[in-house]
Amino acid sequence: MSRPNILFIMSDQMVADLTSAYGHPVVQTPHLRSLAESGVRFDAAYTPFPLCAPGRACLMSGRHASAIGAWDNAAPLTCDQPTFATYLATAGYDTALSGKMHFVGPDQLHGFRQRLTTDIYGSNFGVYEEWIAIKEAKGAHPEEVMAHRRRYNSDYYVSDGIQTDTWHTALSYDEETHFRAIEYLRAQGESDGGQPFLLAASYHHPHEPFWAPQRYWDLYEGADIEIAEYPVGFEEGRSQMDLNLNAYHGVTRNDLRDPESQRRVRRGYYGVTTYMDDKVGDLLRILEETGLADNTVVVFTSDHGDMLCEREMMQKRCFYEWSCRVPLIVRFPDGWKGGTTMRTPVSLLDLLPTFNDLADYGDALPHDGESLLPLLDKGEDPERLVFAQAHEAVGMPCIMARQGRYKYNYIHGYQPQLFDLEVDPREWDNLIGDSAHEEIASRFEEMVMERFDPDAMAEENRPVCTAVG
């Protein structure tokens, strides 16, 4: 395959399991399902940081948050960090971004030769004044930290936070993102094809507010919408990470457990997920109409997921599957590995070296990802190890390690977590302290400590709050 075009489609806050592409029986994502059927579906893909700005900074640079200082939503990706757009532009690609990449600070290109839209957020630091004020509350109790906030995240996760048939900023933004992306593809289809392109089409949906346009809301009238389960006594098993995040998000300010409220919230989420799927369908159709599909690799993913009231938690920032695991689908124009499902854990950090391989660019600086192409060529790899980090609003360095069937969550200064995802996919049974898994837990701890320095990370990333008892 000669150097192909790359269409990189990115959603925001999409839960892999809440798509028909990943087998959900209710949520309608026919275009993603079709993409997966003709491409490769990765079943254990993880964001390197389950939060917008740092997750995207890591994705773009191919480096872990602790390596680039991407501690939170107010941290800039510095201009001295090359990105996959930098490398592909150097390799002769036309690199274009339509939509959201959550770049903080004055550099809004980071290797893209052109932005077709502004970002959905302002490029200056003023929008983060609230978060900076929260960071300054070092050592404060979480309830004191919450006092700095203008609103609580949980407001969007109850019935009163859901509206329908309401035009709002996120919809306007995604419509412009979509129009500019289609306009770009049509122009590429009319060109002589002498220069390959990378187009990143990055949307806000299905990120909250889950305010679906009416026809998408109506699509789920009478649908069987499952709600979260709360096993008796599960609260006693909450990690310190859970406790701190729940305090930050203000989960006790609203009743997240109310069944009817959950059905309304999830119906809205299902609606905006299908809205996002339709955007994918449009882009794929334009590729076919313009003839670009014959030489364009399509990659679809999301920056993180959403807990959607599972475990009485919401939003992202944690390592549970609905938050940290993301959809990742790759389709090659020659049909290579079409219909393949990969169970080996991979990371969005792997996209930078993958894109470089596709562009035949071999001079990248050191990074933390591994190209997906050799993995696809050789098949499943039981030894492949991926990491994720989370620091913002948590209060201490937290590091996830996933290898094979096990996931280990290091929580600096507190009891870690170990889950066997094959027998416990909902992550209820923490195996730490189980004598049968002592060796596995020790091995994971060693792998984390060999790769990272949590003490140094704690010193550099000032904690937001003390632990919640």
Active site residues: 52, 102
* φ, ψ of residue 263 in degrees (nearest 5): -65, -40
- Amino acid sitting at position 154: S
Which H or E run includes 267? Answer: helix 259-290
Helix and strand numbers, DSSP H then E, in the chain? 15, 13
Number of Cβ within a 10 Å radius of residue 289: 12
Q: Are 394 and 324 in contact (CB under 8 A)?
A: no
What are 421's two structure tokens?
Answer: 């995802």
Number of Cβ within a 10 Å radius of residue 166: 12
Residue where the block lists tokens 């991979």: 346
Distance in angstroms (rounded) separating the CA atoms of residues 291 and 5: 12
Number of Cβ within a 10 Å radius of residue 291: 12
Q: Which whole-number Å values give the CA distances from 271 to 23, 72, 225, 257, in the listed order?
A: 17, 29, 12, 21
Q: Between β-strands 114-115 and 94-99, what pairing exists: parallel, antiparallel or unpaired?
A: parallel
- Amino acid sitting at position 314: M
- Alpha-carbon torsion 297, 281, 189, 61, what sign? negative
Distance in angstroms (rounded) separating the CA atoms of residues 328 and 44: 9
Distance in angstroms (rounded) separating the CA atoms of residues 349 and 368: 7
Distance in angstroms (rounded) separating the CA atoms of residues 456 and 397: 9
DSSP state of 87: H
